[in-house]
């Protein structure tokens, strides 16, 4: 379902901007700003009655189930707040707190991010995951699109409500058949490595954070993402691209991407290691500044000192070298003699010459007048 500026959603949210990563809207009940995401609700028929009308309570039941799963989500300075989930006609709308800033996916499009800046972002995200895991909740949607980078540079993790809604919808579509759940997730999520961890729970969130750190550091994912079967096979077998471009974060990233969840650090360890790395970070974060280039010096088109060549083609003057018996030209000798007068004395000598000429003229006039 598309939303245009001015449109009302669920009788509460007025759309204020065109769709991008979500739809910006104003909550008329609180006056706050929210970000809306729409998930299409396919028509499901009542089992055993193929000619019956679609179940009208299907959408509200999905919304209620999602709300119940995230009811225990804690408040944390690095977590965006999930506001609401509501079914309206053929769409499931998810509303999340909207703050000034930019999505991490928008900031990382220009290429790899410097490692110490990635460490800052990773420490913020690990703090958010730590709060969720201590409350007994996995996140399940740690991606660059779910991270908001605020104006002060802090990273806030969102997407919890949206991730739960997506997984709940896939489970409802697939029912008890795992193959159908897989097919629903394949259509809805696509071959995005962060959303296909090798296991579940908090350890899966830490693995997804490792994938995100790798992507930020190198500019591409650690697994092939051309198609879903290839991605899943690489994740299952632990076949990652080399982590050479991860710099000082390479040991941590490699441990996060291990197949065995027991070998991965948890959110507490991730946050501690990143903070310890930042203690020794250079200032400013990023690559060392390049040395300023030397000022360009324009050389004349011809030789600096003209040389006179003999009829035999031999070069006369200084290029013959000391002791070679070559005599400098008259022009060159004259230039060297003229350059012996210091430039600072030219002014006083000129003034003195003028005064001498005036005195001589005055003396001549006196002698003629008798």
Contact yes or no for 274/117 (Cβ under 8 A): no
d(CA 205, CA 319): 75
3-state secondary structure 124-183: HHHHHHHHHHHCCCCCCCCCHHHEEEECCCCEEECCHHHHHHHHHHHHHHHCCCHHHHHH
d(CA 240, CA 211): 10
d(CA 190, CA 207): 18
55-104 pLDDT, tens digit per residue, is 778 899 999 999 999 999 999 999 999 999 999 988 999 999 999 999 99
For residue 325, pLDDT beyond 50: no
Helix (H) or strand (E) holding 111: none
Q: Range with the lowest mean pLDDT among 50-54, 146-150, 202-206, 347-351?
A: 50-54
For residue 313, pLDDT beyond 50: yes
Average pLDDT over residues 127-144: 98
Find the domain containing 24 and state its range.
Answer: 8-279
pLDDT at position 360 is: 82
In a domain, 59, yes or no: yes
For residue 199, pLDDT beyond 90: yes
d(CA 131, CA 135): 6
What CATH number is given to the structural domain containing 250? Answer: 1.10.510.10
Q: Range with the lowest mean pLDDT among 207-221, 313-327, 355-369?
A: 313-327
pLDDT at position 42 is: 77
pLDDT at position 102 is: 95
In a domain, 109, yes or no: yes
In a domain, 306, yes or no: no
In a domain, 292, yes or no: no
pTM for the model stands at 0.75
For residue 40, pLDDT beyond 50: yes
In a domain, 345, yes or no: no
Compute, in degrees rounded to 10, the torsion defined by CA atoms 198, 154, 253, 81. -10
Of the chain, the percentage scoring pLDDT greater than 70 comes to 78
In a domain, 305, yes or no: no
In a domain, 197, yes or no: yes
For residue 36, pLDDT beyond 50: yes
In a domain, 316, yes or no: no
Total number of domains constituting the chain: 1
Helix (H) or strand (E) holding 334: helix 330-338
Q: In what order do the strands lie in the sheet with 91-97?
A: 8-9, 13-15, 23-27, 33-40, 91-97, 82-88
Contact yes or no for 193/221 (Cβ under 8 A): yes
């Amino acid at each position: 379902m598309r939303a245009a500026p001015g449109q009302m959603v669920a009788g509460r949210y007025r759309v204020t901007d065109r769709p991008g990563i979500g739809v910006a809207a104003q909550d008329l009940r609180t006056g706050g700003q929210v970000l809306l995401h729409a998930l299409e609700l396919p028509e499901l028929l009542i089992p055993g009655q193929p000619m019956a009308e679609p179940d009208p309570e299907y959408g509200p039941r999905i919304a209620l189930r999602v709300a119940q799963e995230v009811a225990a989500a804690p408040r944390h300075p690095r977590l965006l707040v999930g506001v609401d989930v509501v079914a309206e006609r053929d769409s499931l709308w998810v509303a999340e707190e909207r703050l000034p800033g930019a999505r991490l996916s928008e900031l990382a499009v220009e290429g790899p991010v410097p490692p110490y800046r990635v460490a800052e972002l990773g420490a913020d995200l690990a703090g958010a995951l730590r709060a969720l895991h201590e409350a007994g909740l996995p996140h399940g949607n740690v991606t660059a699109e779910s991270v908001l980078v605020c104006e002060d540079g802090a990273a806030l993790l969102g997407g919890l409500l949206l991730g739960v809604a997506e997984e709940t919808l896939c489970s409802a579509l697939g029912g008890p058949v795992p193959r159908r759940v897989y097919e629903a997730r394949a259509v809805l999520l696509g071959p995005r490595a962060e959303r296909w961890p090798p296991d579940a729970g908090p350890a899966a969130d830490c693995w997804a954070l490792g994938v995100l750190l790798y992507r930020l550091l190198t500019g591409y994912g650690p697994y092939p993402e051309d198609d879903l079967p290839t991605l899943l096979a690489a994740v299952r077998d632990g076949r990652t691209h080399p982590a050479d471009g991860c710099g000082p974060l390479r040991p941590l990233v490699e441990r996060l991407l291990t197949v065995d969840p027991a070998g991965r650090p948890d959110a507490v360890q991730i946050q501690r290691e990143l903070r310890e790395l930042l203690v020794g970070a250079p200032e400013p974060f990023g690559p060392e500044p390049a040395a300023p280039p030397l000022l360009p010096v324009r050389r004349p088109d011809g030789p600096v000192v003209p040389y006179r060549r003999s009829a035999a083609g031999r070069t006369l003057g200084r290029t013959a070298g000391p002791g070679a018996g070559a005599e400098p030209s008259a022009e060159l000798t004259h230039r060297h003699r003229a350059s012996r007068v210091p430039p600072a004395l030219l002014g006083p000598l000129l003034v003195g010459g003028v005064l001498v000429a005036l005195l001589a003229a005055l003396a001549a006039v006196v002698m003629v007048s008798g």
